[in-house]
Amino acid sequence: MTAFLVVLVIILFGVAVWQMTKVFEMSKTKQTDTGDIASDKDNKVNGYLMVMFLVFLYVLAIVCFWKWGDVLLPEAGSEHGSQIDNLMLISMILIFFVGIVTHWLLLSFAFKYRGEKGKKAVFYADNDKLEFIWTIIPVIVLAGLIIYGLFTWTDIMNVSEEDDPLVVELYAYQFDWRARYSGDDNTLGEANVRLIEGVNQLGVDASDPNAQDDIVVNELHLPVGRKVLFKMRSQDVLHSAYMPHFRAQMNVVPGMVTQFAFTPTITTEEMRQNDDVVEKVRHINEIRRENSKELAAKGEQPLESYEFDYLLLCNKICGISHYNMQMKIVVESQEDYEAWLAEQPKLDETFAQLKENR
Amino acid sequence: MSAHTEDLAVDHHDDHGHHHKQTFISKYIFSTDHKMISRQYLITGIFMGIIGILMSVLFRMQIAWPEEPFTIFEIFLGKWAEGGVMDPSVYLALVTIHGTIMVFFVLTAGLSGTFSNLLIPLQIGARDMASGFLNMVSYWLFFISSVIMVLSLFVEAGPASAGWTVYPPLSALPQAIPGSGTGMTLWLVSLAIFIASSLLGSLNYIVTTLNLRTKGMSMTRLPLTIWAFFVTAIIGVVSFPVLLSAALMLIMDRSFGTSFFLSDIYIAGEVLHNQGGSPVLFEHLFWFLGHPEVYIVILPAMGIVSEVMATNSRKPIFGYRAMIASILAIAFLSTIVWGHHMFVSGMNPFLGSVFTFTTLLIAIPSAVKAFNWITTIWKGNLQMNPAMLFSIAFVSTFITGGLTGIILGDSALDINVHDTYFVIAHFHLVMGISAVYGLLAGVYHWFPKLFEGRLMNKNLGYVHFWITAIGAYGIFFPMHFVGMAGLPRRYYTNTNFPYFDDLADINVVITIFAIITAAVQVVFLYNFFHSIFYGKVGPKNPWKSTTLEWTAEIKHIHGNWDGPIPHVYRWPYDYSKLNKDETGYVIPGQDFIPQNIPLKENEDELNH
């Protein structure tokens, strides 16, 4: 597939170059003595090319949607995510409408009014009414977008205590993530990088009573339908906790605690059944099988087949292995979540172990 | 003021006549002549541009074929690509230096430096800049900073690689990434010198524009190019010092143990002593320059495009005053929107709301400009010179890139596309490609003024334009999809885990377009350097333009005009103006009236 695309693009480009040089050669031979200043012939040729450019842009947009529409993120797995997707859809429709119309105007004018000797341009210097119209229309449209956007934003960023969110710490370091659950008291114990010691990787304060039931894990499990409040901490440099499927992102900053909250609405199992995801996974596995064939020919291990999982990615350049700093997220029912959590060791065990080692 | 200007003009042409003896050094190297300095800026900018674009080709190849070894990597990167496999740290270095070079060295110095220097004196009717000496110092500081930046590519641990935004702590701690050692120190020194150069240049542009306008050249008779350069210089003076302060504080954090940006850090097995600083502070300081910077890059391009479009449409620019007002509005708003780069930085969400508001407001003057350009070509008599083609393409990419800004400027929508390839696609179209088109339009249009009447070959120009125009969209339109798929930027490879496997063919297509587009720039380089020596000499005013630079001598002489400085009697856009009874042009048989022609009896005085 890739090879085919490569060849196609190269051939199309070759044809374009060949055609263009031919066109310009032709225009060169019949040139009047305008030297390197555009002649009527140049105006005509380039005017037509402007129309072709317009067609190219429209075709490019259509081809991209047709070929790569399926790589886009599937439906949002969080409550606020659908609001964002909605606003995104409205903005996109607006953008495409304005883009299509303005390009049509720009490039069709470029064709229609291409220069000819003796033709008179219209001396048209200003028109306050027109200026007013294209000031006021963006004002109204943007006012709508701003208001919608700000309500959505405030809604997402304001976390009220009444929601009784599950408090989870996301801890970032070069180049991995840890999650710390706050345990039965739903309160995280105090922590500071100065307390990092041996197995106490997150620098949690052993003397804090709130810390004793905290649980540190390297895979994020979330109960469906309950609001989760992430408190984020970095050990070394800036990182960013990016959870694209939940439309969630917040930078993780050394020296401060940042936060982001959302309510997962679709379990991992349900998401795997989603039509878009099924299609995407099928496509990815097809690619992986193709690549495996090549690997097998070289005598290397074939690639494993892929199954969908939510991901937490690092999205702020953080060093050499930035590209591979990720953590799996599992969204499951409340019961499954509790069962999983019960199996994880609590921090008091870690503290005890630490004491023994001293 | 006008009296003062006149004095000066008289002064100068008294002076004229006794030419100084020019040695090679005073003419070509330490020149104080604005035309020579302009050439120096342009050629240095082009040289840096070659490095920057070449780097982008290398890392695009890495993204498209992550497992593939390339001999070309080993040729260019040596020990960082043994056996042709690119090292992850050098990938980050490449994207960092590509960004730095393109933004600062090519699009700030190469664009604004070249054309402000060339056009401000010539278009306002001045013999030279207010201070030729400062102007020379400005260029040589820029040259030194370029040399240091290039030298930093060759240090042992590699050049700066924390991204062009050099956010600490990554950029502050050599333990965090190898490039944050000597490479980063050189980066900061280079940038500090660059800022000094930019400030000297900007102050000169402002003073020259305000004080050295010829008689009759009121502010509302200035060509839009000058308005754009003038306002750009003001933004530069307002915001560049803030970057200098950020750079100085970062130097202190790195070398003198201060904690402006560092706090609570455990790295390489030990706790650092730093306490109480904040990386978010650096982000504020950086973007206080960083955002105006994109307007420092794009405003000169807008000015050039307005001028080129009006000339080649044989029509006045539509809405001259609205264009000035929108330049001013954009300039003002540009200084209060920096926070839209930081919606998810951890700053107070309320601030996010404020910055969303101010950011989306910028769309209004931008929309006015776009519609005015479109109306300018409406019912024109378009002369499709290469400069005109690039100007039309500028409007196209500016619209396309600007529209996606509506998404990124909206804090709620930014959450999910922040730092993805969507951002890369957006800013490359709206400020990268657009500004490059502005630069190229300027080079094709004013080549005769830069190189003593010679013109660039138009057919090579057409080939260069069409392949570039198609290639640029081929690169950046599909890139939006990569971003919408959720792929973060600055990933050395996307195949380390399976989720992004299906983006492989988009990335291949993008890279092929990138290689083709980069390759066709060779046509431009050939055309440029060949035309310097062998270009056909055209008429004195090849594009039949109204502005003063075309009344100046073709040969570069000290003082620009052999005789007295021309006076100005009209605005710069009297193209296709009809006489009172609308039977023909004001000057029969000529569809333009240069600014230095007094009002004729058979025309109405219009107040633009």
Residue of A nearest to B372 (CA): A131
Q: Cβ of B462 and A318 within 8 Å?
A: no
Segment B235-294, tens digit of pLDDT: 999 999 999 999 999 999 999 999 999 999 999 999 999 999 999 999 999 999 999 999
Asked whether residue B4 carries a pLDDT value surpassing 60, the answer given is: no
* Amino acid letter for position B245: S
Task: Using CB atoms within 10 Å of the CB of residue B70, give its burial: 0 to 12 exposed, 13 to 18 middle, 19+ buried.
Answer: middle
In the structure encoding, which two tokens stand for residue A7, read together? Answer: 């060849």
**DSSP 3-state of A259:** strand
Segment A2-21, tens digit of pLDDT: 566 666 667 777 777 777 76
Residues 6+ apart with CB under 8 A from B501: A284, A287, A288, A306, B494, B495
Q: Could you tell me how far CA B600 lies from the centroid of its own chain?
A: 39
CB A149 within 8 A of CB B410: yes
Contacts of B337 in chain A (CB under 8 A): none
Q: What pLDDT sits at residue B78?
A: 87
Q: Cβ of B412 and A149 within 8 Å?
A: yes
**DSSP 3-state of B578:** strand
Q: Cβ of B474 and A60 within 8 Å?
A: yes
Segment B323-361, tens digit of pLDDT: 999 999 999 999 999 999 999 999 999 999 999 999 999
Residue B22 covered by a domain:
no
Q: What pLDDT sits at residue B606?
A: 81
Rounded distance between C-alpha atoms, residue B601 and residue B586, angstroms: 9
Contacts of A306 in chain B (CB under 8 A): 498-499, 501
| Better-predicted residue by pLDDT, A338 or B12 | A338
Residues 6+ apart with CB under 8 A from A253: A232, A234, A238, B278, B279, B280, B345, B346
Residue of B nearest to A97 (CA): B403
Asked whether residue B9 carries a pLDDT value surpassing 50, the answer given is: no
Q: What pLDDT sits at residue B124?
A: 96
Q: Cβ of A87 and B412 within 8 Å?
A: yes
Q: Which domain holds residue B454?
A: 2-11+37-551
Of A249-253, A286-290, B25-29, which range is least confident? B25-29
Contacts of A56 in chain B (CB under 8 A): 470, 473
* Distance (Å) from the alpha carbon of A175 to chain B's nearest alpha carbon: 11
Closest CA to B479 of B525, B409, B522, B432: B432
Segment B376-393, tens digit of pLDDT: 999 999 999 999 999 999
A140 Cβ under 8 Å from any chain B Cβ:
no
Closest CA to A247 of A223, A231, A266, A221: A266
φ, ψ for residue A291, nearest 5 deg = -65, -35
A284 Cβ under 8 Å from any chain B Cβ:
yes
In the structure encoding, which two tokens stand for residue B341, read together? Answer: 């780069």
**What confidence category does residue B6 fall into, taking pLDDT thresholds of 50, 70 and 90?**
very low
Q: What pLDDT sits at residue B279?
A: 96
Asked whether residue B10 carries a pLDDT value surpassing 60, the answer given is: no
Q: Cβ of B498 and A284 within 8 Å?
A: yes
Contacts of A288 in chain B (CB under 8 A): 498, 501
Asked whether residue A354 carries a pLDDT value surpassing 60, the answer given is: yes
Q: Which stretch of DSSP H or E encloses residue A130?
A: helix A128-157
| Closest partner CB to A317 (pick from B321, B490, B501) | B490
Q: What pLDDT sits at residue B186?
A: 96
Query: Which of A123, A127, A229 would best serve as a mutation to test chain B binding (most B beta carbons within 10 A)?
Result: A123
Q: Cβ of A106 and B410 within 8 Å?
A: no
A16 Cβ under 8 Å from any chain B Cβ:
yes
Residues 6+ apart with CB under 8 A from A207: none
Mean pLDDT score of chain B, rounded to an integer? 93
Taking residue B231's Cβ as centre, other Cβ atoms within 10 Å add up to: 25
Q: Cβ of A35 and B277 within 8 Å?
A: no
**What confidence category does residue B602 fall into, taking pLDDT thresholds of 50, 70 and 90?**
confident
Contacts of A146 in chain B (CB under 8 A): 356-357, 360, 410
Range A241-254 average pLDDT: 97
**What confidence category does residue A337 fall into, taking pLDDT thresholds of 50, 70 and 90?**
very high
φ, ψ for residue A38, nearest 5 deg = -55, 130
Segment A35-64, tens digit of pLDDT: 899 999 999 999 999 999 999 999 999 999
Domain A165-270+306-357: state its class: mainly beta
In the structure encoding, which two tokens stand for residue B533, read together? Answer: 């020596």
Mean pLDDT score of chain A, rounded to an integer? 91
Q: What pLDDT sits at residue A5?
A: 63
Residue B444 covered by a domain:
yes
CB B440 within 8 A of CB B390: yes
Query: Which of A39, A153, A311 would best serve as a mutation to test chain B binding (most B beta carbons within 10 A)?
Result: A153
Range A279-301 average pLDDT: 91
ipTM of the complex in this document: 0.91
Q: Cβ of A114 and B279 within 8 Å?
A: no
**CB contact residues (below 8 A), chain A span 320-349, against chain B:** 320-324, 326
Strands A326-332, A220-223: pairing kind: parallel
**DSSP 3-state of B16:** coil
**What confidence category does residue A1 fall into, taking pLDDT thresholds of 50, 70 and 90?**
low
Contacts of A319 in chain B (CB under 8 A): 170, 176-177
A20 Cβ under 8 Å from any chain B Cβ:
yes
Query: Which of A71, A82, A268, A307 would best serve as a mutation to test chain B binding (most B beta carbons within 10 A)?
Result: A71
Residue B17 covered by a domain:
no
* Distance (Å) from the alpha carbon of B509 to chain A's nearest alpha carbon: 7
* Distance (Å) from the alpha carbon of B592 to chain A's nearest alpha carbon: 11
Closest CA to B333 of B405, B250, B420: B405
Asked whether residue B7 carries a pLDDT value surpassing 60, the answer given is: no
Contacts of B181 in chain A (CB under 8 A): none
User: What beta strand segments (E) does B196-330 contain?
Assistant: 266-267, 270-271
| Better-predicted residue by pLDDT, B286 or B601 | B286
- Map out the domains of chain A as residue ranges: 165-270+306-357
Q: What is the CATH number of the domain that holds B291?
A: 1.20.210.10
Contacts of B512 in chain A (CB under 8 A): 6, 9-10
Q: What pLDDT sits at residue A25?
A: 64
| Closest partner CB to B364 (pick from A38, A139, A254) | A139
CB A12 within 8 A of CB B516: no
Rounded distance between C-alpha atoms, residue B325 and residue B306, angstroms: 14
**CB contact residues (below 8 A), chain A span 36-75, against chain B:** 36-38, 42-43, 45-47, 49-50, 53, 56-57, 60-61, 64, 68, 70-73
Q: What pLDDT sits at residue A237?
A: 95
φ, ψ for residue A336, nearest 5 deg = -60, -40
| Closest partner CB to A113 (pick from B320, B382, B403) | B382
Q: What pLDDT sits at residue B20?
A: 60
Range B355-374 average pLDDT: 95
* Distance (Å) from the alpha carbon of B602 to chain A's nearest alpha carbon: 16
* Distance (Å) from the alpha carbon of B363 to chain A's nearest alpha carbon: 8
Asked whether residue B568 carries a pLDDT value surpassing 50, the answer given is: yes
Closest CA to A114 of B370, B386, B313: B313
Contacts of A235 in chain B (CB under 8 A): 265-267
Q: Cβ of B381 and A115 within 8 Å?
A: yes
Residues 6+ apart with CB under 8 A from B75: none
Contacts of A249 in chain B (CB under 8 A): 344, 415-416, 418-419
Asked whether residue B487 carries a pLDDT value surpassing 50, the answer given is: yes
Segment A141-152, tens digit of pLDDT: 999 999 999 999
User: What is the widest separation between alpha-carbon atoms in chain A?
Assistant: 97
Taking residue A286's Cβ as centre, other Cβ atoms within 10 Å add up to: 13
Segment A89-141, tens digit of pLDDT: 999 999 999 999 999 999 999 999 999 998 999 999 889 999 999 999 999 99
- On whether the pTM is more than 0.90, the answer is yes
Of A330-334, B3-7, B164-168, which range is least confident? B3-7
φ, ψ for residue B349, nearest 5 deg = -60, -25
**What confidence category does residue A178 fall into, taking pLDDT thresholds of 50, 70 and 90?**
very high
Task: Using CB atoms within 10 Å of the CB of residue B7, give its burial: 0 to 12 exposed, 13 to 18 middle, 19+ buried.
Answer: exposed
